[in-house]
Structure 1
Amino acid sequence: MPATTEGVERQVDILDIARTRVLRDGEGLDAEQVLECLRLPDDRLPDLLALAHEVRMTWCGPEVEVEGIVSLKTGGCPEDCHFCSQSGVFDSPVRAAWLDVPSLVRAAKETAETGATEFCIVAAVRGPDRRLMDRVREGIAAIREEVDINIACSLGILTAEQAAELAAMGVHRYNHNLETARSHFPNVVTTHTWQERWETCKLVRETGMELCCGGIIGLGETKEQRAELAAQLGELAPDEVPLNFLNPRPGTPLARYPLVEGREALRTIAAFRLALPRTILRYAGGRELTLGDLGTREGMLGGINAIIVGNYLTTLGRSPEQDLELLADLKMPIKALSSTL
């Protein structure tokens, strides 16, 4: 009997499909196709990374967007995100604290001095109250007086009124991660829903702010659920997707979870690039432990086109000098501020 169309399609190599669909046409892979990439054996990993890099160069170009982040309000969060040491629900060493406005301005200046074009103000909250919104307004005004940099915020779940207010303040980009696939989310967070996060992301887009939305790899999800997350992000179409890798924090329910293996992390980076060919794909937390120096370099040649420099909210990162030297060595120019406005 002749082979069915379905049977023929299964015999086609996924990288050949990606070369046509993603590289030539600029369309992202769907969940099943991403899963095929995630299942590729180690001896196919160099080919996968090379294709992801070619896609990045074709649809995003060689520039790398550099960002710094700072915590305006640290710790004491009422939510139970199982990976987060800032949750007040768990016995974590992180304690609640606020950053004053002069320190916020100083952090923005230090970020700009690295060549970064984006500075993100983060708060560990379910969502912003009036005090936090007023502090953010004050901080943004003070930063604009002294620093020429785009300002982003990550303040949790928003109402329509809060989203509109942040947009009116001039917030360039709002970060609100889905964190993990919808099917896995209840295993990671129980105090709010995946749908609530999704609705905030939609509000951000409706106000005209750019949307930054990604997730964390290594939360106990399956490969199928990683592919599910990639497809859900593809549907949401954020301007930026930060890829974090779990850095297990003391006192949290995931404290004893293993690190994502380096090759698996690189495979995930490349697969997400093939799902999101036109998106800013940013190295975020955990890459230092999961990938180290060599793996960080390989990821930059496997689909990544943005990085967070310096430390994260409660964990240490690489020094900005290390990352800037890497970009110079790879001949990847830092994206200019004028091109992000």
Structure 2
Amino acid sequence: MTSTQQRTDQTDAADQTQAVGDILAVAREQVLEQGIGLSQQQVLQVLELSDDRLTDVLALAHDVRMRWCGPEVEVEGIISLKTGGCPEDCHFCSQSGLFASPVRSAWIDIPSLVEAAKQTAKTGATEFCIVAAVRGPDERLMSQVAAGIEAIRNEVDIQIACSLGMLDQEQVDQLKDMGVHRYNHNLETARSHFPNVVTTHSWEERWGTLRMIRDAGMEVCCGGILGMGETLEQRAEFAADLAALEPDEVPLNFLNPRPGTPFGDLEVLPAAEALKSVAAFRLALPRTILRFAGGREITLGDLGAEQGILGGINAVIVGNYLTTLGRPAENDLDLLDDLSMPIKALNDTI
């Protein structure tokens, strides 16, 4: 190596070190002041920060959330209309019929669905999401969803979202006509990592459903799960994928390894890494609803809820999840009250 090449390499290395060292200063100007989300490479620099910078990055993410989203927190409850027996092989999911997990196929009846919506509304939640463990809805499921939505609307003042897998255009139009406010369909992980997580359908198939939902005028809810063996580079890639989609809401889940699934033996994501990821996603998506979802209890514990809400989160799922237990709804609501974070009013979500 010549001396000139050596000096060039040293300069490049110094520039890179300087860039990493300044990433929070760059983010403060770019994201906080201008509202421009971090790029994929910039998100990676945040994810690579040492844990002793965690307080700084969470504080900046909180400032960004307050500046571009405000103090309101959107509260949502979810219920599984059809549980288990799914034909897909999502390696994290105990509802797959291909794995030896303890979850078995079951349907909930319409009165139980309405009661769940009522209980969700009593917590102050403004959103109720109907979920089904399917590749995509068949005629029977669409009929059940239509009946459930009608029954809920007759008794409960709450916005209704759905998560029913991949859709065709006719199904998108039907859900729109039913008055579905928001549709959830997670990309789950970075495009480059997706084949390691799911093999029975493609990332592109999921993307296609999301584009149809957006084009139909429904709100797009799309996030994923962190801690599924992805690299930091792939986590940054995932944030960039989501930024390109421009979803209205991003639910952030953390892997809660489920017995009997291919990912059942993976380690839980370290809390500091999880919180740093929350902040990084906020800096990539300054105006998006960023929701705490599954796995936060096992990953972060009780203190993690406060740290996340003061580190970029502005929405929560209250109560239990689809196949795992969450925190009691009262705990989250009391925390929001203690932090002076008002629940977003229903008329603000319409």
Tell me the TM-score normalised to structure 1 length: 0.98
Mapped pair 1:317 → 2:319 = no
> Which amino acid counterpart does residue 275 of structure 1 have in structure 2?
A
Alignment-mate amino acid for residue 325 of structure 1? D
**One-letter code of the match for 1:271?**
A
- C-alpha displacement at 1:295, in angstroms? 1.4
Name the residue aligned to 1:275: 284
Instruction: Give the Cα separation in 2 of the matches to 1:43 and 1:130.
Output: 53
Residue ranges of structure 1 left out of the alignment (5+ in a row): none
What does residue 333 of structure 1 align with? 342
Residue 43 of structure 2 aligns with an amino acid whose one-letter code is V
Q: Report 1:122-133 matches (<5 A).
A: 122-133=131-142
Deviations along 1:28-52, whole A, 9 cap, x unmatched?
1011000000000011111100000
The answer to whether structure 1 residue 151 and structure 2 residue 153 are counterparts is no
**Distance apart, 1:7 and its partner CA:** 6.5
- 1:3-14 aligned within 5 A: 8=15, 11-12=18-19, 13-14=22-23
- CA shift at 1:192, angstroms? 0.2
Deviations 1:243-276 (A, max 9, x none): 0000000110011100000000000000000000
Structure 2 distance, partners of 1:284, 1:42, is 23
> How far apart are the structure 2 equivalents of 1:5 and 1:289?
41
Write the letter of the residue equivalent to 2:18. Q
TM-superposed deviation, 1:11: 1.9
Letter in 1 for 2:88: E
1:235 corresponds to which residue?
244
SS in 1 for 2:153: helix
Q: In the aligned structure 2, how far is the partner of 1:208 from the partner of 1:323?
A: 31
- Listed as ranges, the matches of 1:1-341 within 5 Å are 8=15, 11-12=18-19, 13-341=22-350
CA distance in structure 2 between the aligned counterparts of 1:10 and 1:23, rounded to whole angstroms:
23
Write the distance in 2 (CA, Å) between the matches of 1:18 and 1:313.
36
Q: State the Cα distance separating 1:164 from its structure 2 match.
A: 1.0
Tell me the distance in 2 between the aligned counterparts of 1:295 and 1:170: 35
Q: Offset at 1:5?
A: 9.7
Helix, strand or coil for the counterpart of 1:216? strand
- Cα deviation, 1:30-86, whole Å, max 9, x if unaligned, reads 110000000000111111000000000000000000000000000000000000000
Equivalent residue letter for 1:233? L
Amino acid at match of 1:62: P
Q: Which letter maps to 1:208?
A: G
3-state DSSP class of the match of 1:165? helix
SS in 2 for 1:152: strand
Q: Aligned partners of 1:215 and 1:193: how far apart in 2?
A: 15
Q: Provide the alpha-carbon RMSD of the alignment.
A: 1.4
Q: Which amino acid aligns with 2:163?
A: S
CA distance in 2, matches of 1:102, 1:219: 36
How far the C-alpha of 1:6 sits from its partner, in A, is 10
Structure 2 CA distance for partners of 1:200 and 1:43, relative to 1, 3 Å:
same
Amino acid at match of 1:241: V
* Rounded Cα–Cα distance in structure 1 between residues aligned with 2:95 and 2:81: 13
Q: What code does the residue aligned with 1:94 have?
A: V
Which amino acid is the alignment partner of residue 11 of structure 1?
Answer: Q
Give the distance between the partners of 2:12 and 2:302, measured in 1 at CA. Answer: 45
SS at match of 2:247: coil
State the 1:338 CA deviation: 0.5
Tell me the distance in 2 between the aligned counterparts of 1:166 and 1:38: 38
The total of aligned residue pairs comes to: 341
Residue type at the aligned position of 2:67: T
2: distance between equivalents of 1:9 and 1:267?
Answer: 20
Structure 2 Cα separation of the partners of residues 7 and 247 of structure 1: 39
